[in-house]
Amino acid sequence: MAHRHDVRRYRGLGPFAIVFFAWLYLPIAVVVFHSFNENRLVSVWSGFSLKWYAAALSNQNLLNAVKTSLSVAALATTFATIIALMAALVLVRGKGVKFRRVSETIVTLPLLLPEIVLAVAVLILFSQIGFSNGFLKLVVAHTTFCTPFAFLPIRARMQGMDLDFEEASADLYADRWTTFRRVTLPLIGPGMVAGAMLAFVISMDDFITSNMLNSGGATTLPVYIFGLIRQGTTPELNAISTLIILVSLLVAGLALFIQRRGSAVAET
């Protein structure tokens, strides 16, 4: 009876899966393949070479853009995770909180709005108050739209956590801060890490807001790559894209490892 519901026995599923994954990953494979092309013309293969990776890693403007993106993403992730943690504690653990659903909607509102709307709103706000520091503008804007991405995993983890652990800590005469530090925080740690990594990736990937708030000395990596594309596609751009793919896979793998380890610890 169980075999009748096994999706692997459905006819045509194998070819469909092959076409599906080819549709998703074949363009990425083409980018990776042409990043090793010795010829400057992407469409003309003239031999295997790593010179475009060397050129990308020695490009000072590229390195400055990477540094800016990493700095903005690190600060925005830190602030967004702290705000998301406080919001989750109040909305999930708080008793007698009024307008709980409305508050959750406000926290997750940046997910519902088109990013261009949020970018224009932030740009107008900074113009009205005369705020001109390009780097800090990016940090504030990235924190705004990264907060809901950090909030959702933390809230989900906290909703799935049993209250018995915190009640047992209270029965042992631990105060609220000790209970939070030694019981609650370790249990929701995997959710916090997952939310922080998701916020970090979203910040690193952002283009619309970063492009609108772009100013001298605050050019992020996506904005810099867009400037390269306007000049024409080269193997150096493919090499940069391949390095980004590699870093993204490492971050995703690390997040998955931490999440599985946290789930295993919670089950034991």
Binned at pLDDT 50, 70 and 90, residue 267 comes out as low
Interatomic CA distance for residues 268 and 257, integer angstroms? 17
Can you tell me the mean pLDDT for 113-130?
86
H helices then E strands: how many in the chain?
13, 0
Assess whether pLDDT exceeds 70 at residue 59: yes
pTM equals 0.78
Residue range 193-244, pLDDT digits in tens: 888 888 988 998 888 888 888 776 688 888 888 887 777 667 778 888 888 8
Binned at pLDDT 50, 70 and 90, residue 112 comes out as confident
SS3 37: strand
Cβ-based neighbours of 48, under 8 Å, separated by 6 or more? 36, 38
Interatomic CA distance for residues 106 and 64, integer angstroms? 35
Interatomic CA distance for residues 52 and 31, integer angstroms? 13
Token pair recorded at residue 67: 């540094």
Assess whether pLDDT exceeds 70 at residue 5: no
- pLDDT computed for residue 134 by the predictor: 77
- pLDDT computed for residue 214 by the predictor: 79
Binned at pLDDT 50, 70 and 90, residue 30 comes out as confident
Asked if 97 and 86 touch (Cβ cutoff 8 Å), the reply is no
- pLDDT computed for residue 72 by the predictor: 92
Interatomic CA distance for residues 63 and 84, integer angstroms? 31
One of 3.40.50.2300, 1.10.286.10, 3.30.460.80, 1.10.3720.10 is the CATH number of 59-232, namely 1.10.3720.10
